[in-house]
Structure 1
Amino acid sequence: SALVCFREVRSFLGNPLKAGEGYAAGIGVKMSAAQLFPPWEPPPAFHPRPADGGLVQRVTKLTEFVARNGAQFEEVMRQKQHGNPEFGFLFGGEGSPYYRWVLYCTIHSLNPDLPLEAQQQHGGHHQQTAVMGGNLVEALPAELRSEFSGVLDRLNGTKEIIKASQRQFLQHYVHARGLAAMMLERCQQSSDYTKQLHLIYLINDILVHSVQSSASQPEVLQMVRDGFHPVLSAIISSAYAQSGRSEDAKQRLQKIVNMWGDRGVFGPETVAELSAGAFEGGQPVGSVPQAAAAAPPEQGGYPPQHTSALPPWQAAMPPPPHPPP
């Protein structure tokens, strides 16, 4: 399969992909964007999503790997897939313009389903000559990066703070990929399971609110989904590992993932994919350390006797008004 081939190439390059690790889990890896899109050339033209679902899947997966590993990965794939019609887009064949557009968008934290001009109108921060280097986080405007870092610094488990943080995220939804990458980075840097839970509660609030508002703002839901999908398994996996891979933590986190299916955030296949990526590799041991099971009261944490996956005010949120697409 294409995924097996991608993993083989990654291993060949000397950095094998770990279980459950998405492309954005490597946000510390610098991307050689200038090699792929020289700064003196205009960005590739917008190209709509092809009707061939298999082609879209291959393009999406390859762009994620190339964005993480750079131009060398693309070149090795060309060598290995020479003559393979399924990868004709690497050689100017069917899907080539779409591949170049999606690769550009993946590198620069853009939504491939919207023309560049539309995203400029929504966000006001993207310029036609997008940032030619760095990673998903570095591609964010410096002011927004600083602002959202402060949001994450202030995050705790209270309803008021999570709601305010959700609103600030959604004000900049066109940058969802970069902001989601910041949240992954913060989660992986944290040694506090409770703080990681607060981050996951914020993600849940963003996702559910986007579904509930999708009737009037469908483009927001699409961008938010696209932004979080690549990093959710890594975020859940990081919290699970920090808990000591306890059965209690696994059940709590699995309930949240399942809820995204119940509330129409993701379809069943995506929920299964997220679960497999989050919990594979290592059996749960022990229980959640008492210090990590609940936040201190002054931090707005949850009492130890609370057993729901989410705080009561989130667990009671109504389901979306329509089923998932």
Structure 2
Amino acid sequence: MLKREYERKKREEQEATAHVFQEFIDTFQNVSTNSKTFIKSGVLYSDKKQIDNVNEVYHPKPLMRHPVAVKNALECATMLKDPKANRNKNEKRISNLELLKEELKQRHSEKDERERLKEQIAMSSPAISYFDGGDPQSTNLFVANLNTSVTESVLMEEFGVFGSLASVKIMWPRGEDKFKNCHTNCGFVAYMSRRDAERALNHMKHRTDMRVGWGKSVDLPPHPIYIPQELLKLYLPPPQSGLPFNAQTNMQVDVNVVDEDLNEILADSVIKVTIPLNKKILTLVNRMVEFVVKEGPLFEAIIMNTEMGNPDFNFLFDNKSPIHVYYRWKLFSILHGESTKHWSMKPFRMFKGGSIWIPPVAPDFTQGMPECLIVKSKNDASKLSDNQCERFIDIIQNLSLKRSAIADAMVFCINHSSAIDDALSIITESLSDMNTKITDKVARMYLLSDVLSNCVRKGIKVNNIHSILDNSIEHLHVYSEQINNEVGKDDFFNKLMRVIRQLDITGMLSEDTIKRAELYFNKNYSTTDGNSSGDEPLDGVKLLKHSLKGSSEEIVLTPAYLKRKQMTMIPKEYFVPSKWDTLDPDEVESQAILSSQLNYLNPSSNEIELKKREEKSKLKRKKDFEIDDSENKKHVTKIRNKHKKSKK
């Protein structure tokens, strides 16, 4: 499509150029047939001689043109002439169907090209490059396929192990991208040196949760935004020892030590000089050294006298501060002819019988992190670093029953498989906390199960796996005794038994652990709510209420599980019968029919006489009632009459 558009524009430009040249030729080459004539006339009131050629036709002289320029213009106009004019009239015109056919062929070829490029990208190395310019000076790394929960501080912790960082940036979605279903982000991590960037790329390119490659080079700041802890120790002063010039010794120093012993201690001590990281203080100290070297110790005494209360000049009075140590060393170095930017790194004694002074290491982050510090961090790979440990603890504290939250925590453990024992110890310790919620306990147990299952599946070695599970079950048992809500306890037991059965399927639980877990979490299913065989049966009571809650469709009926199930079957006495299934003995006795009462099937003469007597008694009672009714009516009429007379 782009090729056809380009050809169309090119053709239009050629047509416009040809039209301009054609107008040029028509104007200056072809003489118009209908040209107007000009006739000369005389001069009015002229005293000079009359011109002889009056009333003659005026023929202007032709304009002189360069023949070479005219020839070139004609050739150019001929070349740019519309090709349609010279086209053969007998040439067959292309139909619309053929044009559509050609367009479809071109589309198919473009589609095949795109598919081929996609296959090449899919088959390429995971460490693709954002910028393939081949810049050997680039210290910027492009990081793709980042989880949306990863922040810039997390990237600092992950990549800062390999050297000082110049910048860290995540390309957060903006505008319309916010409303799209984006599951990953990308970003850039720039180092202060190329060596650190290469080291980080070699270690991070095999990661499964991110893809790392080279990016475009960026401008480096004068000071890094992140310095590794091991590298920072080289530039920071040692802790205070209480000795002059903050001398460091391996012996324990007593406050009431004798001067002779103190001199022996100082002779064996080491004074480490460090350059102040505060640029303002560093400039002040260097300026002070410059004037003291020029003016002598009298200038130093004058400054100490005039700036006694100024906190910026405290380094002149406190000989134990790191700034004073740097001031003393810098003054000694300049007086011995060393440069302000380059000095000897050889240890020396400034005083006879004094401590050994070690010159400072100038912070040069562009040279990269020393390899010895990287090796030290590799030796501790079986342990999580402080930053990684804090991050994992934060993940566990914010853990919920959502699958995504548990999956993110599990991915963190698998990515740090070299320190899997340390990660499992943190999970086990979190299960021992008795102040957490029930849902948090269940979520952490789910996490423990997922991590162990994936370790077994991927062949990651886990030490003392049985002791980890035993301790976790004991902690959960102690925690369950503190739950007062019966419904919450039942749900808690139900979810724990699911996890235990899943671990049993993978073969990570011993028989003793399984029996102890069922003893802890199955005994409450049949004895809660105080129901027993001796209680009064209530209508609507569910049969095997708690045993039914313990069942699940996720149970795998293995032979070992069926054998344990038979051993832990609920006795029949715990079945609560319904009142509709049994009869009350008193009611049965009251409603029982004796054999003597079965004579109604063959009525005798005595029974007939009894019936007649009952009928006579009924008639007699009816007559008595009628008589009583008539007497009552008479009594009522008498009362009414009396009432009428009283009114009159």
Q: TM-score, normalised by structure 1?
A: 0.39
Query: Which of structures 1 and 2 has the bigger CA Rg?
Result: 2
Q: Which fold has the larger relative contact order, with Cα–Cα distance below 8 Å and residues 6 or more apart in sequence?
A: 1
Q: TM-score, normalised by structure 2?
A: 0.21
Which is richer in strand? Answer: 2
